[in-house]
Structure 1
């Protein structure tokens, strides 16, 4: 009985399990790590000037309303785009949302890039006038910035009434940029075809009044999806904030590449724009 009990005990004793490493799992881990490394390396290389600029000069940057990391990425991209377009005119755009601006401070971005032009919101819809338009319009002229006025189009309001609102408020002069139609929203109570008819009416009426072809402002995807086929004869001001894009297209007259810039004299964040040419070429686009 003692012998049988011993044998039974031996039968149920389990040896520790030795887990063998899975070569396939290691291979996947190394592959993912390598791809991640390449992705980071590519990003650093592509935006190398921006990274070096940030590390060298931006460690005490005011983060405004962004987190520290978001502010850092915004500054890197802004510097990178400006650095790659240092032969082109740089400008910004404002509205009443920037409150009162100290225009005497608005000369440069970080003392490195001159600001040459500004777009100022004048009107919105059929009866809205920007609260700061008159002040901004006159101040920009005194500051000797090349200035332009834009209208924020409301798709569900009468297009002719909107054009008349803009014409009533904006008195363009020699040296000003052509009027701008800002279209960003889709209609709620009409078809896309009806929207296009309204846009065409606004553009035609405004062009007839000022004797110059207006500029269309829109997001790149919005323009490509809804406007490009019918409105390709109009000059373009395109908004695209994609972090990985750092060049404008040949058919873009202006490129709004960020909404997160900081400019001395302006509270909060501001849109920045690149003109597809230098300041002298920009002057040729102005009303004569």
Structure 2
């Protein structure tokens, strides 16, 4: 059967136009970004950092360039790809909830310094009975110019785990061995602090300023100490009233606490305590001199942090006699107390 020429031409035109429409549709579809996630693009485990909007760097970015994937390839016909087991699957949950967070890095706890056992001797030993200072774990010393040139490394191995070092008197005297002792005690690994001998003939503010001027503020140093006692050998013979004593001490201690960030320790002896300090300063730590009996007998009801139990100690590393002291607590309690002072 023969077809008319016109219908044949029309039919051919429809076929060709259909092919062209289909080709354009595929080309447009190929240019659309694929929503598939493939292993060819590494996925960041956490959100990408946001770029600064409007900066020269962002404006210079080519429109067809991806920083993490390179140039966009030429459009190709879509070819279905079978899903691979383990391939990341897009989620509607926020990335912050599904991306693994980096675990917090905990700093290693500071290394505890070795606590050396008590190996001191005593020129005038006292029998303290069942409450002997020897039963406590952490012993130490206090020193001044009168101990001369100290071998600190040897003194430490004898049981001096801490040292309180004489720094200042009144408002104008610096112990000539303070700087050397301060430096060498630290080099030997002792925990050390400084103490001030209080003069009742100088203002508290002057004395605090003098101490601050000469004693460095260092991380890890033990709290400063105010030494209050009646001293018959001192050039100052004045004995103020109890009210005046407490007032002057408060001024001095407040100024040191503001500067060093640690509450000062009060060192005292039995007669001075009896005259002035019984019941006073309940929130301050005390360092008590008691060389003939346990502090509980000499200072009833008073909590204490350090006990000076001898003024006639003997040890390798120092010539002559030396004051012996002990911390009121176990070895673990000592480490905890020191760590709290260092934070």
TM-score in terms of structure 2 length: 0.57
Distance 1:157 1:285 in 2: 33
Which residue of structure 2 aligns with residue 276 of structure 1?
Answer: 328
What aligned pairs does 1:169-188 form with structure 2 within 5 A after superposition? 169-185=214-230, 188=238
Distance 1:124 1:164 in 2: 12
Which residue of structure 1 aligns with residue 68 of structure 2?
Answer: none
Describe the superposition over 1:113-167 as per-residue Cα deviations: whole angstroms up to 9, x where unpaired. Answer: x321000011010011011000000001100100010000011111110000000
Larger radius of gyration: 2
What aligned pairs does 1:64-75 form with structure 2 within 5 A after superposition? 71=123, 73-74=124-125
Question: After the TM superposition, which of the residue ranges 160-169 and 273-282 deviates more from structure 2?
Answer: 273-282
Quote the offset at 1:230 in angstroms.
2.9
1:254 is the counterpart of 2:309? no
Cα 1:76–1:269 shift into 2, 3 Å: farther
CA contact (8 A) 1:154 1:185 kept: no
Q: 1:96 aligns with which of 136, 145, 148?
A: 145
Unaligned runs of 5+ in 2: 1-119, 232-236
Q: 1:205 aligns with which of 255, 264, 274?
A: 255
- From the two aligned structures, give the one with the greater helix fraction: 1
What aligned pairs does 1:1-288 form with structure 2 within 5 A after superposition? 71=123, 73-74=124-125, 81-85=132-136, 88-109=137-158, 114-185=159-230, 188=238, 190-242=240-292, 244-245=293-294, 251-277=303-329, 278=331, 279-288=334-343
Higher relative contact order (CA 8 A, sep 6+): 1
Unaligned runs of 5+ in 1: 1-57, 62-69
Q: Work out the number of aligned pairs and report it.
A: 214
CA contact (8 A) 1:180 1:214 kept: yes
TM-score in terms of structure 1 length: 0.67
Distance 2:214 2:290 in 1: 29
